[in-house]
Structure 1
Amino acid sequence: MAWEIPLRTIDDPEELAGPDDVLGIVRVLTTGTQIFSSSRVDTVMGMALIHVDPAQVDPVGPGECDNAFTILRTLTCPWTEEQPDPRLRGFLLQSPDRMRLYVDHEEDTNVVAADVRPSGALTALLAALPSLIVEVERTVPGDIDDPHCSHLIDLTDW
């Protein structure tokens, strides 16, 4: 199935829909059962094509996984050509609002696990993460029950 979503609004043809608007519409279209009039359904390259009228769709805001995706995208696709620092080695969603990031820093190959809260202040956390993972005082004391890292840092309340 394919959707054709106009990027210009009917109310103001000069105004473009933003990425959050389009994502909100796609969230609605991919959730639950949708009924479209036959005048809005077509076919293209063997797929059903739905001509979406944004005025008829009430966009849905971000879900709980969107912030986790933002963290992962930022760590894997930096805006610069340089190697990301810290480098993401893996992740584990532990609950809807707790995520463990496995990262390493510069030339150090020891993997650090950092527990973060996706609903927290993401911009500040992602900007400070390179310096936070090397602060020894943030290390969780005692043995950690995670064979994928050398030590754990709890940043859920940061």
Structure 2
Amino acid sequence: MTVWEIPLRADARTEDLLGGDDVLALVRALHTGTQIFSSSRMSTVMGMPLVRVDPTRVRPASPDGAEGMLTILRTLVCPWTEEQPEPRLRGFLQRDPDRLRLYLDRGEDPDVAAAADVRTSGALTALLAALPSLIEETEGPPEGDPHCSRLVDLTSW
């Protein structure tokens, strides 16, 4: 276990603060590959190594497909509103590293009514906001998938 001390100001000369996405990109980079830190930036806290990170010296890492998939699933299952999302997520199937099939239903119809294929590396915020209206655009029953009555391909959306 390692403790990372990341200042919220990347540059002490400016008033700009790092955002949540910036900090996550730094943590992603710190957990990728071998990192070498000078002993002046290292100490211990509660028996764990403490590394004082200089954000100007760490190149932030981009999110991967798994992070996009978790964002989609987390948003559909635990939205930031008190109301339950419509349509509801009933299940999912990872088709390949950048493609996810979402199985969705409506509250009044508990049968799985539609499936939507989405890219995990696409514009997730826009897709998730538009998903309720997009799944109404039926493309017919999917071949070889007994879990839904229709499929919408949103991978190029």
Assess same fold via TM > 0.5: yes
* Structure 1 stretches of 4+ moved >4 Å: none
Amino acid of the residue matched to residue 31 of structure 1?
T
- Report the counterpart of residue 155 of structure 1 in structure 2: 154
Distance 1:62 1:106 in 2: 33
Letter of the structure 2 residue corresponding to residue 113 of structure 1: A
Aligned to 1:120: 122
**Using the alignment, how far apart are the partners of 1:36 and 1:95 within structure 2?**
37
Q: Report SS of the residue matched to 2:89.
A: strand
1:115, distance to aligned residue in structure 2 (A): 1.3
Contact in 2 for aligned 1:8/1:17 (Cα 8 Å):
yes
Per the TM alignment, residue 11 of structure 1 is displaced from its structure 2 partner at its CA by: 4.1
Counterpart CA distance in 1 for 2:123 and 2:140 is 20
Instruction: Quote how far apart the aligned CAs of 1:21 are.
Output: 1.6
Which whole-Å CA distance do the structure 1 matches of 2:141 and 2:120 have between them?
19
CA-CA distance at 1:152 after TM superposition? 4.0
Q: Which moved more, 1:28-37 or 1:113-122?
A: 113-122
Q: What residue number does 1:130 align with?
A: 132
Instruction: State the alpha-carbon separation in 2 of the partners of residues 19 and 139 from structure 1.
Output: 40
Structure 1 unaligned segments of length 5 or more: list them. Answer: none
Residue in 2 that maps onto 1:65: 66
Give me the TM-score of the superposition, normalised by structure 1: 0.83
What is the CA deviation profile of residues 6-58 of structure 1, one whole-angstrom value per residue up to 9, with x for unaligned ones? 10123434211112221221111000111112222222222221111111111
With normalisation by structure 2, the TM-score equals 0.83
- Listed as ranges, the gaps of 5+ residues in structure 2 are none
Over aligned residue pairs, what C-alpha RMSD do you find? 2.1
Specify the SS of the correspondent of 1:140.
Answer: coil
Find the residue that maps to 1:80 and give its secondary structure.
Answer: coil
Aligned-residue sequence identity (percent) comes to 62
The one-letter amino acid paired with 1:96 is P
